[in-house]
Structure 1
């Protein structure tokens, strides 16, 4: 598969961000890495390989971005309020710098987003905060409540990055047009979070699919099995 390493300066982050682009043409899917993951993680754990057929047939183009976790959720040396603020800068980098470039490059109005574990939180939070930019959302093995990273701190910024809290009150017509798949496994410790999010969406009448695999845990083999099936739902 065609691969291209890209580096770009982010005005919001104030530093260079790195990204791996897999494929040369197709519908764009932005992949968020797991906790503290790097842009090459999806390749190294063969998640990109799992959708090789779609890439080689020029149906999709993957954009694998670096995480910002070391400045936000995992920056234990920083005040929790600063962690949330820094995640907000990462969110703005994606929404105001990266996604507009992808939209222009691929000539699309909306993109797909995907991620495993904390990357699944990133994908879901991004999609629900920016539903005008996202048409397809695939979370795999994710939990969605970020209060565990905040050491008891909670403010307005934290609320608006915590989907279980803000989604019950959120209103946007684009939610009802989005292709949403919440993937988990029977023995995944994040399974309960997916049931909770599915219930929130169901109460709002937002169409979605809750996919609970009967076997497997919180690990890459399950996610590699899920991803090509989820990608096929784009077409």
Structure 2
């Protein structure tokens, strides 16, 4: 399986950023790590091996970017407003640095995004903020409400990066040109959020029921 390591100085973040890419061809999938996870987490935990056939046969090319959770939502040493601003910069990096690279390397304008747990949050947040750029969303045990990470603080950055809040008001037509998979186990701690968020989508588009 082709594996490539990339590191560059991100002008958006003002720091170095790292990523692993698996595969030589195929549909692009951005696979996010879990809470405070690193770019190599999905490889180390066996997720890449689990889909090795698809990668080796050129069906999918998987991009595993780093996260900056320790500088944003999980950094309890800074004010929640700064946490939200830092995450907004991460979203800008994905749009301004990662997405153009993927389009150039694969020839696809729209991508797939996925992740488990907090990686599911990253995938969902990016997909619903930028549905014109995302064709498929796979969120497994994902989280959709970020308010537990901001200690009661609320501002525009929190609102626009909290899917539970901004999706009900989102009228972008490409929301319904996207394949959406929300997965949660029977005793999953994220199940209630997944059911609530699924309900929001069904209210927006009854055809999903």
Specify the TM-score bucket, using the shorter chain as the normaliser. over 0.9
Tell me which residue corresponds to 1:201. 201
The CA RMSD over aligned residues, in Å, is: 1.2
Tell me which residue corresponds to 1:165. 165
User: After superposition, where does 1:69-80 map in structure 2 within 5 Å?
Assistant: 69-80=69-80
Tell me which residue corresponds to 2:134. 134
1:49 aligns with 2:61: no
Segments ≥4 residues shifted beyond 3 Å: 206-209
Q: Structure 1 residue 57: deviation in Å?
A: 1.0
1:179 aligns with 2:179: yes
Q: Distance in 2 between matches of 1:204 and 1:11?
A: 37
In the alignment, structure 2 segments of 5+ residues that lack a partner are none
Q: Distance in 2 between matches of 1:56 and 1:101?
A: 21
Deviations, residues 125-175 of structure 1 (Å, cap 9, x unaligned): 000001111001000111110000001111111111111111111111110
Q: Structure 1 residue 8: deviation in Å?
A: 1.6
Tell me which residue corresponds to 2:21. 21
Q: Structure 1 residue 50: deviation in Å?
A: 1.1
User: After superposition, where does 1:75-154 map in structure 2 within 5 Å?
Assistant: 75-154=75-154
TM-score, normalising length: structure 2: 0.97
Q: Structure 1 residue 49: deviation in Å?
A: 1.0
Aligned residues: 209
- Partner SS, residue 48 of structure 1: helix
Deviations, residues 201-223 of structure 1 (Å, cap 9, x unaligned): 001117669xxxxxxxxxxxxxx
Native 8 Å contact 1:37 1:67 kept in 2: yes
